[in-house]
Amino acid sequence: MNTLSALEQFHFLRPVWLLLLIPAGLLMWSVYQRGDSLRAWRKIIAPHLLEHLISHDRGERGRWRPVYMLGIAWLVGTLALAGPSWRLQPSPLSEDQAAMFIVIKVTPEMLAQDIQPSRLQRSVLKVHDLLELKNDIRVGLIAYAGSAHLVMPLTSDAGIVNDFAAALEPAIMPVEGDEPGEAIALANQRLNTAAVPGTIVLITDAVADSQRAALEEIYRQGGADVHILAMAAGPEVIPPPGSPPAPALDINSMREVARAMGGSVVPVTADKRDVESLSAKIESSLGHAPAQEGQQWQDEGYYLLVLLALLILSFFRRGGSVALE
């Protein structure tokens, strides 16, 4: 976490303890006044005359007094009790800190061969590449056409996700159509149940305009960021003979949809640049995801106890006491 991000998230877990600074200030002022050896003389002699009538011991002016140390110790102790915090930590009851759902479109259009060997088969290969990069989080898999279906719940076993993704084909989908909104809603539901920060990767060749409002509403209601891996070639690519008909990539439309869901679009590439870029965007989304039940703010006040102990030690030396009477 960088310094700017830490400052933005800085807060106190128990701010009510900061009220102790009020009596502390009054007490410090009282002790300081009582420790003033000239307090009685100040009441009967004008300050500008008193300065010339008294003699100061060597080093008395600017002398470090125990009351100052007491004030610092009280301040440090109060800050420790208030619980300063600026970063999240996993809950002891949670095994994982983050999760990701991969949502794949499985329709006849995904069999188009403008992306070799086909859009769907390349999607499976990209899932494998992405899981190699994101091996530190749990992953779930959802397939959709005219309806959405949970293929694999969140798991740490990347191998089984790859196996189930490879078995997807349009013939096994029970309802024809194109309903990414239903699939994204299902992914968000499963992430909420897992109670960990999460993000969603949508692998598709296109998103219908009729789906945009529903997707935007899901995100507005607290949905996770959705990043799109655009699995289609541009109009300049001519599919080979026998390729199922499918629309060419409309990158501008995809970008508008992704922005509506708090994410971005990454066009498919022949190498791993697309999944590397996608992995970085996923990491960014997870870093800004709100805290869930599986996370809690880390109390940094414990580190101040070391400083407090060192300050208290100074009162055990000769002349280190503070009189309150």
What CATH number is given to the structural domain containing 141?
A: 3.40.50.410
| Total domains present in the chain | 2
In angstroms, the CA 312 to CA 325 distance is 20
Look over the chain and give the mean of its residue pLDDT values, rounded to a whole number: 83
Prior bond of 197 cis (ω within 30°): no
Residues 6 or more apart in contact with residue 173 via CB below 8 angstroms: 106, 107, 143, 144, 145, 146, 147, 149
> Of 325 and 260, which is predicted with more confidence?
260
Q: Partners of 228 in the beta sheet? A: 202, 265
Q: Is the dihedral of CA 221, 225, 228, 229 positive or negative?
A: negative
Query: What pLDDT score was predicted for residue 4?
Result: 54
Mean predicted confidence (pLDDT) in 106-118: 94
Confidence at residue 94, expressed as pLDDT on a 0 to 100 scale: 44
Q: Please, are residues 145 and 105 in contact by the beta-carbon 8 Å criterion? A: yes
Examine residue 179 and state whether it is found in any structural domain, yes or no: yes
pTM: 0.62
Residue 260 lies in a domain: yes
Q: Is 165 in contact with 149 (CB distance < 8 Å)? A: no
Token pair listed for 306: 């070391």
Q: Write the single-letter amino acid at 243.
A: S
- Give the domain range for residue 35: 3-87+298-316
Answer yes or no: do 82 and 110 share one domain: no
The whole-angstrom separation of Cα 96 and Cα 92 is 10
What pLDDT does 3 receive?
57
Quick one: tokens of 137? 């989080």
Same domain assignment for residues 208 and 59: no
Check whether residue 265 and residue 142 sit in a common domain. Answer: yes
Residue 321 lies in a domain: no
In tens, the pLDDT along 189-231 reads: 999 888 788 999 999 999 988 899 999 999 999 899 999 999 9
Asked if residue 200 and residue 312 are part of one domain, the reply reads no
Measured in whole angstroms, the distance separating CA 150 from the mean position of its chain's CA atoms is 26
Percent of the chain surpassing pLDDT 90? 47
pLDDT tens digits for 262-313?
Answer: 999 999 999 999 999 999 999 888 877 655 555 567 888 888 888 888 877 7
pLDDT at residue 131, rounded to an integer: 95
Whether 140 and 279 share a structural domain: yes
Q: What are phi and psi of 275, to 5 degrees?
A: -70, -30
- 278 domain residue, yes or no: yes
Distance between CA atoms of 173 and 147, rounded to whole angstroms?
8
